[in-house]
C-alpha cells in the first residue's frame, strides 16, 4: 500500500495557500546534514537569484516552504530527503547581485527532518525548483529512517580496505552507522593514522572487548587526538587539524580471547617497520 506525503505531514487543504515545496539538487560538497555544515546547506537551499542573472532562479510567494534535497549522490535521482519546514522571512540582497531567501527553520515536522525520503520525478530545468503544495497528495513516501540520513562516500568492503579520512570516520561514529559499528566492534587491530600534510604516521593498537570501534570513538570524541601525546599537541594548536588524518587498519584480530600481549608485540613490530618513533608521531 502506498503512503503519500499528506498522510505524514497532514497539512490541511485550507492552508495550502501558505506553502510551497522547494526541490534542491545535491550540492557539490555532498552535504545533506545541518549538523555537518549548517551554514553551507542553508545557503544552498536558500538560493533565489544567481550573480549577474536577470531572472530569479526560484520565486516563492508563500510564507512557508518544505525543503527537499535530491539524493543524486547516491544515484537515486527520483528520491528526495526532507530537510525541514521553513518560514520565509524576506530576501537578502548581496552586492554582486545574487539573492537568497532568509529562511528560518521551524519546529513543525522536525521529527522527520533528514529522515523522511520521498519519490518524485522532477523534469529538467529551473521551473521545478519549486512545485505546488497540492503535490503532497500524490507524492509517495519511500521511507522514514530510524536515524538521520548519512551520506557515506565509502562502503565497508572488508577490513583490508578500511582507510578513512577523519571526517568520514567522524560521520560513521557520530551517526552510529550499524554495519560499521558491528564490524568494528567484532575485531581488534593494529591501525595507522597518517598525517596527509607531511606523511608522518602514528601506529596504534586496540585490545578491548568493544574492539576497534571503541578506540576509534575516542579519537572522534577528543577532536581527533585520542589522547596520544604528539597528536594532542597538534590538535591543541589547531583544533581542526585532525581533518588531515587518515585512519587505516593494518592487521586484524578477533576479540574473543585475551590476545593483548600478542597484539602489543605486533604493534611494536609495525612501529619498527614504519619507523614511526623516529620519523612519525609515536613517542614510545
Find the mean pLDDT for residues 72-81: 74
Name the band, by pLDDT with cuts 50, 70 and 90, for residue 166: very high
The answer on pLDDT for 127 being more than 60 is: no
Cell of 267: 604493534
Just give the CATH number of 159-279.
3.40.1440.10
Find the mean pLDDT for residues 129-158: 84
Distance between CA atoms of residues 77 and 80, nearest Å: 8
Find the mean pLDDT for residues 88-102: 90
Rounded to 5°, the CA angle 69-70-74 comes to 130
What is the number of residues in the chain? 284
Residue-level pLDDT at 129: 85
- Best CA proximity match to 264, nearest among 187, 205, 202, 218: 205
Strand 19-24 relative to strand 64-71, pairing: parallel
Percent of the chain with pLDDT over 90: 63
Name the band, by pLDDT with cuts 50, 70 and 90, for residue 95: confident
Residue-level pLDDT at 104: 95
Residue-level pLDDT at 75: 61
Calculate the CA 72 to chain-centre distance: 15
- The label of the residue with cell 571526517 reads 167
**What is the 8-class DSSP label of residue 72?**
G
Find the mean pLDDT for residues 53-63: 86
- The label of the residue with cell 590476545 reads 259
Distance between CA atoms of residues 23 and 131, nearest Å: 8
Domain ranges of the chain: 5-144, 159-279
Please report, in angstroms and rounded to a whole number, the separation of the first and last CA atoms in the chain: 62
Residue-level pLDDT at 76: 61
Find the mean pLDDT for residues 174-184: 80
Amino acid at each position: 500500500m502506498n503512503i503519500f506525503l499528506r498522510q505524514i505531514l497532514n497539512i490541511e487543504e485550507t492552508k495550502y495557500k501558505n506553502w510551497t515545496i522547494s526541490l534542491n539538487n545535491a550540492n557539490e560538497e555532498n552535504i545533506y546534514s545541518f549538523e555537518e555544515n549548517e551554514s553551507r546547506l542553508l545557503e544552498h537551499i536558500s538560493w533565489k537569484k544567481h550573480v549577474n542573472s536577470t531572472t530569479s532562479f526560484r520565486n516563492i510567494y508563500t510564507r512557508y516552504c518544505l525543503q527537499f534535497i535530491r539524493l543524486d549522490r547516491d544515484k537515486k535521482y527520483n528520491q528526495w530527503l526532507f530537510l525541514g519546514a521553513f518560514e520565509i522571512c524576506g530576501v537578502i540582497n548581496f552586492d554582486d547581485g545574487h539573492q537568497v531567501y532568509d529562511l528560518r527553520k521551524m519546529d513543525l515536522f522536525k521529527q522527520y527532518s533528514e529522515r523522511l525520503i520521498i519519490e518524485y520525478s522532477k523534469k529538467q530545468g529551473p521551473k521545478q525548483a519549486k512545485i505546488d503544495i497540492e503535490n503532497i497528495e500524490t507524492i509517495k513516501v519511500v521511507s522514514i529512517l530510524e536515524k538521520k540520513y548519512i551520506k557515506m562516500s565509502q562502503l565497508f568492503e572488508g577490513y583490508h580496505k578500511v582507510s578513512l579520512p577523519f571526517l568520514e570516520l567522524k560521520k560513521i561514529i557520530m551517526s552510529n552507522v550499524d554495519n560499521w559499528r558491528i564490524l568494528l566492534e567484532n575485531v581488534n587491530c593494529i591501525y595507522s593514522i597518517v598525517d596527509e600534510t607531511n606523511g608522518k604516521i602514528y601506529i596504534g593498537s586496540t585490545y578491548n572487548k568493544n574492539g576497534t570501534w571503541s578506540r576509534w570513538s575516542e579519537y572522534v570524541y577528543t577532536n581527533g587526538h585520542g589522547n596520544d601525546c604528539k597528536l594532542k599537541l597538534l590538535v591543541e594548536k589547531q583544533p581542526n587539524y585532525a581533518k588531515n588524518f587518515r585512519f587505516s587498519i593494518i592487521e586484524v584480530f578477533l576479540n574473543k580471547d585475551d590476545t593483548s600481549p600478542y597484539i602489543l608485540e605486533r604493534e611494536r613490530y609495525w612501529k619498527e617497520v614504519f619507523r614511526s618513533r623516529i620519523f612519525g608521531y609515536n613517542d614510545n
